[in-house]
Structure 1
């Protein structure tokens, strides 16, 4: 069911996030040159190398469906893993199935399971690690978590909640052995996986790009409605209130949190803390979704948990306005995302077609549109047509001295002046088209 729900949305490029197109561009480079190059620091080697193989084996027209389809398959695996985990924790088949479907449908997971981003890859492997650990396989859990780290290095923080489970999940005399297998497996696999990155970029690969801290409304929008959707965010708040009300009004004494609840809470705090450090993308909070569902599963009555899951299943299809959510006045919606992807693909096609019509030699300053252009096989087919992200005064003068005509996509002159201190239009560059 999870996979079937993804099928209508696998086309129209690789997603709305430029980073998804950067992954595809890196895969193209690896496939065509045989040399590893990361899509962005600090590297996402498992996904980049897998896509490089897929680039070689897949016809150009089928690549978006194949690349996005791999992510969709992993989202189905993630839903299945959470279902198995919930069933192991409490023998409630309906609740377990609803929990798995809720994970698959929560907007931040759904939207990122039909594109080429890394979030769902890491999420599926983390849940696989959790499932293996609960079944008494700490070494297998370490291997899977190590693979998650090679998809997204911040997955390493989730070793902490898994460590809590490994420490208490079995005979006391085996604690250190279980923990050693979990940690050793994670470090060994992650270390091997990052060898291509280290060999290419050296120990300085572990870095990230500072974009400045966004406004508080943007932090709220990305961390709330963009993760859960409007319906899901409201349902989550109501479920939390019902849980608190039951303790305060019915005077049901709260249970002492067990080891598993401590692990879920620790994982959730680590994910939220990492997001608040650099709150640029809602996708950073993808691992929070199963952890919150696990907390809700352990703390709420079955009927309340079921209602929360149903609301999350509805949420990605509820493209409803809600002015209180912040930027855009809407939460995340798969329908809204599909429209944005189609519009983005049309714009990229226009840029490529306009570029093909330029008299040679020419250079086009594409800015944030560049990753989408570079992922297209038509980019690079002509030696006398180049696409670049930006130009400064010296680079502009160099192109002009070599006889190049300089163009920029609409709006890029102001963007280039603001970010790089050089006014393309004022220097004589022409708008594309």
Structure 2
């Protein structure tokens, strides 16, 4: 009983730790605002609209059911799911007899990328929680219910389908044999459930809905996103140090050590490694956000619990937890303030910018086009309908399209950072086309 109370108590702690960060808009990611816009559209029109393709129907539709809601409410749903995910992961670690599973659960819950994305309206934590639920149910022998959970995870994020292979391996691990009929049933239920959620997406956008953004960021950004964004500065250093110490300590005994620890449960290890490898491959194909790596974090922690000694494992877990609260490393600065506080501060700053933009748009009395870029979802969410009579918003705009607006008599404005974005993307200068900043003389280097 005391163990159950400890798990419940820590899950409440996880949820409460999110509360101070829930009331600053829908998040620091434009896609979080896009999900809120999609929920509003679905709720008010009864027609499905994707926040962005390939669609994230489970959170979009469920948010629509509780619309209208404040940002705090939508963000609180994500925070609650993160607490449930913590419970599932602790139970997973306990089921596979991992050492110090409470520490492992806390390391997952407080890893910077998960902490941040459990305080906004994004879909990452939705997918993760149902993946963890599916994994736990597989390990407990509830195979078909686990398949249903995986199907829901796919409905949250289509990339959750990458967990099919690891979970099939875990089914074999749990049962101790290859039951082909059961594996087929698992696959059909998981894929079928996921497909059901995408019916409105296909109905609205056709079979070409599974489209992705193709540009590739610089290599340093990819490395940064896969390391510091996910584990934090302290966490990355602790991980590297702990693994180095363990390898040095074992020296020539490393291979026998691995064989002794992993041979008895090789399918569990292979399943964990396959999940890590599959999500790494997916990330390296489109490495735009460290959040894409969220599904592999629990499996890394699980393997670390097997490989590291108890003191080293606890050391890494504590370091990952602290990483959310201490030291943020970004392109041009290093601050003592941790990523969760840095994210919150940026959300507050963007709220100030957005309110300033809205106050200006109220006074626009001629046809105006505002090139908003990543500001567009936030502006769309905040702008009252009566302000759209004279104002149109554009995310990005090509030179020919811009000229057509100018020919129709539109005054062109742009928001912070968009002059540089258009110049880098399309190779022309907005100001040379007569555009001007919506708010003159404001700082342009706002981070998105």
Question: TM-score, with normalisation over the residues of structure 2?
Answer: 0.88
Aligned length: 421
2:375 to 360, 369, 383: 369
Q: Which residue of 1 aligns with 2:58?
A: 46
Establish whether residue 143 from structure 1 lines up as the match of residue 163 from structure 2. Answer: no
Which residue, 129, 134, 138 being the options, matches 2:134?
129
- Contact 1:406/1:430 (<8 A) preserved: yes
Which whole-Å deviations, capped at 9, do the CAs of 1:149-171 have from their partners, x for residues lacking one?
Answer: 11111111111111111123215
Q: 1:393 to 1:165 in 2, by over 3 A?
A: closer
Q: Secondary structure at the match of 2:287?
A: coil
Q: Which residue number in structure 2 is paired with residue 245 of structure 1?
A: 248
1:8 CA drift (Å): 0.5
User: Does 2:234 align with 1:228?
Assistant: no
Q: Structure 1 regions of 5+ residues with no counterpart? A: none
Q: CA deviation at 1:91?
A: 7.1
Q: Deviations over 1:236-288 (max 9, x none)?
A: 11222233234316666332432211111111111111111111111011112
Distance 1:270 1:208 in 2: 17
Identify the residue that residue 77 of structure 1 maps to in structure 2. 84
Q: 1:185 aligns with which of 184, 189, 195?
A: 189
C-alpha displacement of 1:411? 4.1
Counterpart residue number, 1:12: 24
The equivalent of 2:345 in structure 1 is 339
Closer/same/farther in 2, CA of residues 85 and 430 from structure 1, 3 Å limit? same
RMSD, aligned α-carbons? 2.2
Counterpart of 1:289? 297
CA contact under 8 A between 1:368 and 1:389: conserved in structure 2?
yes
Q: Please tell me whether residue 319 in structure 1 is matched to residue 323 in structure 2.
A: no
Give the conservation status (yes or no) of the 8 Å contact 2:232–2:328.
no
Identify the range of structure 1 (347-356 vs 175-184) with the bigger mean alpha-carbon deviation.
175-184
Contact 2:399 / 2:426 at 8 angstroms: preserved in 1?
no
Residue 334 (structure 1) shift: 0.6
When normalised by structure 1's length, the TM-score is: 0.91
Once the two structures are TM-superposed, the CA of residue 37 in structure 1 deviates from its matched residue by: 1.4
Report the Cα offset of residue 402 of structure 1: 4.4
More deviation, 135-144/408-417:
408-417
Structure 1 413/333 Cα, relative in aligned 2: closer, same or farther at 3 Å? closer
Q: Does 1:161 align with 2:166?
A: yes
Per-residue deviation, 1:386? 2.2
Partner of residue 275, structure 1 = 283
Aligned: 1:356 with 2:362: yes
Give the direction of change, closer, same or farther, for the CA distance of 1:369–1:138 in structure 2 (3 Å limit).
Answer: same
Secondary structure (helix, strand or coil) at the match of 2:353 reads helix
Query: Does 382-391 or 413-422 show the bigger shift?
Result: 413-422
Any residues of structure 2 matched to 1:171-182 within 5 Å, and which? 172=177, 175-182=179-186
SS in structure 2 opposite 1:38? coil
- How far apart, CA to CA, are the structure 2 residues paired with 1:390 and 1:423? 13
User: CA, structure 1 residues 350+171, in 2 after alignment: closer, same or farther (shift >3 Å)?
Assistant: same
Q: For residue 179 of structure 2, give the secondary structure of its aligned residue in structure 1.
A: helix
SS in 2 for 1:287: helix
Instruction: Name the stretch that deviates more: 422-431 or 100-109.
Output: 422-431
- 1:403 positional shift: 4.1
Deviation digits for residues 153-211 of structure 1, max 9, x if unmatched? 11111111111111232153x61233123212211110101000111111111111112
Q: Which runs of 5+ in 2 are unaligned?
A: 1-12, 440-448
**Correspondence for 2:444:** none
C-alpha distance after superposition, 1:9-64 (max 9, x if no partner): 001111111111111122222222221111111111111111222223x2xxxx11
